[in-house]
Structure formats: C-alpha cells, structure tokens
Amino acid sequence: MPETATTTKTKTAEPITIKKYANRRLYNTGTSTYVTLEDLAAMVKTGEDFVVYDAKTGEDITRSVLTQIIFEQENKEGQNLLPIAFLRQLIRFYGDSMQMLVPRYLEVSIESLTREQEKFRNQIAQTFSVGAFSSLEEQVRRNMDMFERAFAMFAPFARRESQNAEAAAAPQKAPPRVGEIDDLKRQLDEMKQKVDRLTDKGPGAE
C-alpha cells in the first residue's frame, strides 16, 4: 500500500548520523545525501533525531550545528523567537555562578511549554484574547518560582551573605559628639527660659 502524504513518519530508534566535512557540507548517512541547515531544521520539526560529527576528528558538534540553525532562523524576517532582553540575560549567565542551573531550567521550561502548546494554540485561535497570553504568562511565572526555589537549594546562604555585605558597606551613623550634646543642652535651657518668661507675663502677673 503506497504511503500517503498524511502518513506520520516513524521516528528512528537511533539518531541519524550527520557528518560535517571541511568544506562545511553536511552528509546524511541515513539517506546517503548531502543536506543543508534548512533540511536539518525540517528534520527537527518532524521529530527526527540526529547527531552531527566532524568528519575529520569524529567530535560531536551537534550543539554548535543546532545553534547555527537557530541563528539562521532568527535572521529570517518575522521568524524571531528570542527576545533581546532574554539574549542579554542569557549572555550575562555565562561564567556566572548561576550558569550550571540555567540549562536545566531552560529544559524544564521548554518541556512545559511543549506540553501546553496545543492548549495555547486553541486558546489563541478561538479567542485571540488576553486570557490566552495570561495563561502563558502564568506558566512562565510558575517556572520562575521553581527556578528560584532550585537556586535557593544550591545557594542557601547567598542572600544572607549579600545582606551582611550590604550592612557592612552601609555607612554607620556616628555617635553625637560632646560639642553637639552641649549645643542641645544650651538650646533646651534657652527654650525653658523663654517658657518661664512667658509664664511670668501671663494673667495675674505684676
């Protein structure tokens, strides 16, 4: 029976091996054909798993190739997925003590979004209202809460140390000097004398 256009492609048990040669050409060993980044992007979208190896060294370069695919997609008109604020913050995490938490947080976040994407699609398609986006924002907030709790487990004393450092750096209020105390006493005496004079000039005073 011939395969129809709507037949779902069966996901292979093992990832397809892609070899990248020195001339930057990508070779799909599964189909014995050369492919492009666009082809690899299409494979990702259809759920086909693959790994990319440097044909000369045998090094696994899947991450760099996938990153290159994202770069190519981001450069297309109207294809931007990564907000500038996100990219800036992501760059700040490189070399930071938080770096080891970021990959897992992003994995959990994207997995959660993937599970919820059909519901979000239906909401947006049916209503195109604020409610659909509110649900998405609520999901992001829940992910951020989870991320903060995870960070707290890894760095339970970070906040306390930060507060102690701020307290140590804060200028301490100097105790009043002897001369200032004398000035205050003199001002109080002057005020008392004025009150006494006003009292003497009150009704019945001679």
Domain ranges of the chain: 14-81, 83-167
**pLDDT, position 76:** 86
Q: What is the pTM for the complete model shown?
A: 0.54
**pLDDT, position 156:** 47
Task: Give the CB-side neighbour count of residue 38, counting CA atoms within 13 A.
Answer: 2
Provide mean pLDDT across the span 15-24.
94
CA 139 – CA 107 distance, rounded (Å): 14
Q: Examine the pLDDT at 17 and tell me if it is beyond 90.
A: yes
pLDDT digits (tens, 9 = 90+) for 79-113: 888 999 999 999 999 999 888 999 999 998 888 88
Regarding predicted confidence, which is higher, 167 or 43?
Answer: 43
pLDDT digits (tens, 9 = 90+) for 163-206: 555 555 555 555 555 566 666 666 666 666 665 665 555 554 44
CA 32 – CA 37 distance, rounded (Å): 16
**pLDDT, position 26:** 96
Give the C-alpha distances (Å, rounded to integers) separating 23 from 9, 19, 43, 131. 31, 11, 22, 50
Q: Which of 7-11, 39-43, 66-70 has the lowest mean pLDDT?
A: 7-11
Q: Examine the pLDDT at 4 and tell me if it is beyond 90.
A: no
**pLDDT, position 157:** 47
pLDDT digits (tens, 9 = 90+) for 117-175: 777 777 776 665 555 556 666 766 776 666 666 555 555 444 555 555 555 555 555 55
Max Cα–Cα distance, the chain, nearest Å? 127
CA 44 – CA 103 distance, rounded (Å): 19
pLDDT, the chain, mean = 75
CA 18 – CA 29 distance, rounded (Å): 6
**pLDDT, position 130:** 52
